[in-house]
Structure 1
């Protein structure tokens, strides 16, 4: 099986290389105008849009794995320019369904004959995606939804993941160091995510866990799984029909308050991410519906994520800083999370954050101000200093998709206000203020102690200096013997100078006495040789750089 996957991966690598060859040539010419020589060339917006269209067609041609990869890339502004993000945003996970005979074989391999496992089964799928498709059936007199993994998808995905891993060194040649960091994380994240999405047993566990977290919440509905008709490749669950969350006309006809719906959706995700630590990670409109009484139905928990306590704490600090319009606090939090480089231009990023906050609040922004900030960004940070660590990338992706759904429901939706209200109600803002007060108190206590300790010590030091009785003991770490080598060279230099002068004087006084001149010159020659060898020796003074690209990459991997 491993050999077959390898053979398939080699073949797929050639196919992928053929599909992306025009883009590889174009990017190479950006660095060298005539491929092998010449300067670089300027890439215009029109060129990026054309290339993004080529990339879109290539991803569609390459099939399910690369369609999923394109969807993930469409939410990663830290890797792709805005033109690519916009084009890939139209990429839909919508592929022709697999023939019924093939899906039936998967079903019967897991559950036995379809006629015995279910009371009735509709062989026409109600939805199809790159990794699986959903059918409607009857079980014990109730309608159920049956999710079946696409036949043969496992081998194809494993082969494609190897191709992506093999392609990474080539891709690194065309992007900056900051984006390379994010791309490596994305590759690891994508491999983990797509394998989890194919494991329906894990999806069922996540579904149950999130269902329990919202047991007392009547704003959402999660379908109940049916364990006895589920396995690794088949997931049977309660059938819950509803109105698609982006079907505005249908929602209005049912009299559903769209602003309240958007508010509930954001609050649900805030609880998942900030409080529970596990969240539904694919909230596009195809996976969200609305019941007639206004509750949100969640489908497809294959793509899910987890948030560790550190990231949860930093997300809360970020939201609080946004709510307080504390730009410095926002930047500090992003740097602590590893999203922004510590060397970022804080003035430029501060202007960007102020603009983003104003936009999120729906404030009127003068166009000249927008243009001014964009010019600052373009002129100072061509490589935008945004990096997404693996544990944060999926959170930001979800935030972006949820924002799109909320804006569709209510174009005037105020994200900051909803987040602020949620954090206040849950007591996070009070905790933040309490931490600040405790921090200030501790700092004040240390300062007060210093005020009593420092003056007497400082007075003693000044008295000794006034009496010319102040000595300083300096300890130098010299494990490599650098000072010894310098001292030897200094002594050699002094002897060489003395010997040379002595030889010249003897020769000037008695040029015919070559024996005396030789006797004086021989030691001088020996000293000169020793000094020359000390500079030529590979064991001389050398330093080892503590920060190089290679060891930085190694530290980053660790």
Structure 2
């Protein structure tokens, strides 16, 4: 294992080194020295494509690594997220004799345990592949973990652990923290996804909530033919949910399918606290009667009660178009830093919501809102909790599927109706009224206490015994920088007449010394005004966003002309 880990480490380093060198040159133009370089959005997109190619070259573990990385806007810029979301979990299937060995080791001889078994896989992925078979006259789908994948994954995880310190050298402290957390979370996630016993338990738990729903189907597990490496389920056929022509040919109402899919996911996340976390079109199908079928529960997640409440509050705030409430919820969930520039974030959010509204239909796109927030998450050193990252990904993927089914689909309207029907919006109003009542009581009490306190303060002012203590916070070191500029300015101001006086006195050795000292102080003073370090502020993000938005509008207007 150690030798394989060393070899994988060499391969990982070899594949990522060109990209790492480009990142290093971004920080130091001449690698070891020089100013940082500004990178355009197009350059970032090219590098993201290079990263995607490297992940594909390195194989199954890194394909999964890239897929999960695409859910983390706190780790990568938006351009990388956009490119990595295209990463498909498809690799050539393992040879049948190797897969057969896994099945027979865990379940028993193929001929004795299955009535019939089709040795051509119907789907293949990085961690497993699926076959069709028959058990007791019933068609089943047999999901088999890829032979030898455990050793490869463990070697790759070790290689990632060794490579991480090298990678952290190329990023700032905030991103380093997010990357270390992400690496730990990835190790847990991929081990969970390889554990088909866990997938079985999650499928059984989620399925129990929909056993009585005739329009939702999830395959029951065949326990006698399942293990930690083999998962056998009932085979449920259906039309791929994005196969529009076939759905239309069957006379299926696509808008109704989109609404039911949205409501199902909202119900999973906000009420059951456990959900199917991989809703891409390959894992969703529709039967001829409009029943939605869910496949592959390898990626599934849990939502604790706190996060459930915050997600509900987020959707209510978006539905009510309350920007301040949206920001409050994002801060409470840990998506946005409490120290972020509130005014800047409000402006970004307001513009994101305006852009998310359709021109011809009153519809908001959650994906567009979250994309704007995600872009801001990267620009600011924010951290995105793992479970929330998965929920955000689910929301955007589900909406993408729904918009494919119905281009005029209004995700927020459906979510708003769902929350209203379940009484969440009414509870929110009651909560606001309760909090308002508490605030009024507190304000009344304060108003009764203020006059005596004000009277005592005025008496102390009159007796000239009032002492005011103030603490100045300077996290950016601006005061020290200003003090340094003042000292340099004084040196330059004193150096010029001193140099002139020495010149008049013909003290030439001293003249050249004074000229040199004055020139050095002057150049250092000029440099302190031109360099940006230490006076960088958050509103620059908003300015960049405003500029991009203005260019987008101008391009649209020129296109219309």
**TM-score tier (shorter):** 0.7 to 0.9
Q: Deviations over 1:298-348 (max 9, x none)?
A: 001011111111111111111111111000111111111111122323333
Query: In the alignment, does 2:350 pair up with 1:354?
Result: yes
Cα RMSD (Å): 2.7
- What is the SS of the residue equivalent to 1:35? coil
Q: Distance in 2 between matches of 1:346 and 1:28?
A: 32
Q: What's 1:404 paired with? A: 400
Q: Which has more radius of gyration?
A: 1
Offset of residue 402 of structure 1:
1.3
Aligned to 2:50: 54
Unpaired segments ≥5 residues, structure 1: 366-372, 475-558
Q: Where do residues 277-426 of structure 1 align in structure 2 (5 Å cutoff)?
A: 277-363=273-359, 383-384=379-380, 386-426=382-422
Q: Is the CA contact (8 Å cut-off) linking 1:361 and 1:415 kept in structure 2?
A: no
Q: 1:245 to 1:382 in 2, by over 3 A?
A: closer
**1:360·1:415 contact (CA, 8 Å) conserved in 2?**
no
Q: CA separation in 2, counterparts of 1:432 and 1:156? A: 49
Question: Are 1:172 and 2:168 counterparts?
Answer: yes
Quick check: 21-30 or 83-92, which moved more?
83-92
Q: What is the rounded CA distance, in whole Å, between the counterparts of 1:395 and 1:240 in structure 2?
A: 26
Listed one character per residue, the Cα deviations across residues 517-540 of structure 1 (whole Å, up to 9, x for unaligned) are: xxxxxxxxxxxxxxxxxxxxxxxx
Q: Within 2, Cα distance between the matches of 1:23 and 1:359? A: 33
1-side partners of 2:378 and 2:230: how far apart?
47
For the pair 1:44 / 2:44, whether they are aligned, the reply is no
Conservation of the 8 A alpha-carbon contact between 1:360 and 1:414: no
Render the CA deviation track for 1:448-483: whole Å, top value 9, x for unaligned.
Answer: 3334445456556767887x59899x9xxxxxxxxx
1:243 maps to what in 2? 239
Displacement of 1:393 after TM fit?
1.2
Give secondary structure in 2 for the equivalent of 1:77.
coil
The correspondence for 1:129, drawn from 122, 125, 128, is 125
Deviates more, 1:424-433 or 1:335-344: 335-344
Residues 501-516 of structure 1: matches in 2 within 5 Å?
none
Mapped to 1, the partners of 2:457 and 2:85 lie a distance apart of 68
CA contact (8 A) 2:133 2:141 kept: yes
Question: Does the 8 Å contact 1:318/1:334 carry over to 2?
Answer: yes
The question of whether the paired residues in 2 share the 8 Å contact of 1:362 and 1:414 is answered with no
Q: TM-score, normalised by structure 1?
A: 0.77
2: CA distance between counterparts of 1:106 and 1:378?
42
Is the CA contact 1:182–1:389 (under 8 Å) kept in the aligned structure 2? no
1:105 pairs with 87, 101, 108, which one?
Answer: 101
Q: Equivalent residue of 2:379, what SS?
A: coil
Query: 1:59 touches 1:66 (CA, 8 Å); kept in 2?
Result: yes
CA 378–59 in structure 1, closer or farther in 2 if over 3 Å, else same: closer
Is 1:119 aligned to 2:146, yes or no?
Answer: no
Three-state SS of the structure 2 residue aligned to 1:292 is: coil
DSSP 3-state at the match of 2:285? strand
- Going from structure 1 to structure 2, the CA distance change for 1:206 and 1:71 (only over 3 Å counts) comes to same
Measured in 1, the distance between the counterparts of 2:10 and 2:64 equals: 20
Is the 8 Å Cα contact of residues 74 and 377 (structure 2) preserved in structure 1?
A: no
Q: Is the 8 A contact 1:176 1:383 kept in 2?
A: no
1:422-472 alpha-carbon deviations (Å, 9 max, x no partner): 111111111111111111112222233334445456556767887x59899
Structure 2 unaligned segments of length 5 or more: list them.
362-368, 470-561
Which residue does the alignment assign to 1:445?
441
Q: How many residues were matched structurally?
A: 460
Question: How far, CA to CA, are the matches of 1:179 and 1:270 in structure 2?
Answer: 31
2:254 is matched with 258
In the alignment, the residues of structure 1 paired with residue 288 and residue 382 of structure 2 have an alpha-carbon distance, to the nearest angstrom, of 42
Q: Are the aligned partners of 1:360 and 1:416 in contact in 2 as well (CA < 8 Å)?
A: no
Give the TM-score normalised by structure 2: 0.77
Shift of 1:211: 0.8
